[in-house]
Amino acid sequence: MNNDVMKVLLSGEEIEKRVSEIAAEITEDYAGESVLMVGILRGAVVFFSELVKRVDLDLRFDFMVVSSYGSGTDSSGEIRIIKDLSQPIEGMNVIIVEDIIDTGYTLKNLKRLLLTRNPKSLKICSLLDKPSRRKVELEGDYIGFKVPNEFVVGYGLDYNEKYRNLPDICVLKPEIYS
């Protein structure tokens, strides 16, 4: 699998240093409060698990499966809720934990949906942000790294469901994407 990698954009070590900083920020921002961390399956799993270990708060977990992409690298502009939250979020501090903000469609739609359920607060925490690809206005509240307009894999992110287990954020060789 490593033979498919063209370059490492962010090493696991670099990522985890930044994850610790974000966790410290969240811990400070929500001091004295409880928080529901909502991981978006499957891409956010690796980031989610590294993040929550470092947040020192009364935390609860939930997960959603949301789809905006088919296979490949293009967004459809619509989302489908494949697995919803398993609990109401009214009155709760909710943080959505996502792998990457690309066009912004997924999180824009998801945010709108969850706000109708009257949480106390709702924020977005994304490991990566690709601002040059944005098609709708949407900003993350906690962002790990801004990345250039390249399709990245690893640390949870996939290409056709592969490469999620790479320990670094990588760009694949061009022939793999074609």
In the complex, which residues of this chain contact ligand IMP (CB under 6 A)?
43, 68-69, 75, 98-106, 151-153, 157
Start-end of H helices in 30-129: 45-52, 105-115
What is d(CA 84, CA 79) in angstroms, rounded to the nearest whole number?
A: 12
Q: Which of 4, 74, 102, 129 is catalytic?
A: 102
Tell me the closest approach of the beta carbon of residue 132 to ligand IMP, in angstroms: 11
168 interface partner picked from ligand IMP, Mg ion, none, CB below 5 to 8 A per type: none
Minimum CB distance to ligand IMP smaller for 145 or for 151: 151
Residue 177: enclosing H or E segment and its boundaries? Answer: helix 174-177
Report the interhelical angle of 45-52 vs 12-29 (nearest 10°): 60
Is residue 102 annotated as a catalytic residue, yes or no?
yes
Minimum CB distance to Mg ion smaller for 70 or for 148: 70
DSSP 52: H
Minimum CB distance to Mg ion smaller for 43 or for 104: 43
Choices 26-34, 38-46, 87-95, 162-170 (CB under 5 A): range interacting with Mg ion: 38-46
In sequence order, the β-bridge partners of residue 125 are: 97, 142
Tell me the closest approach of the beta carbon of residue 115 to ligand IMP, in angstroms: 17
> Which residues, 6+ apart, have CB-to-CB distance to 28 below 8 Å?
none
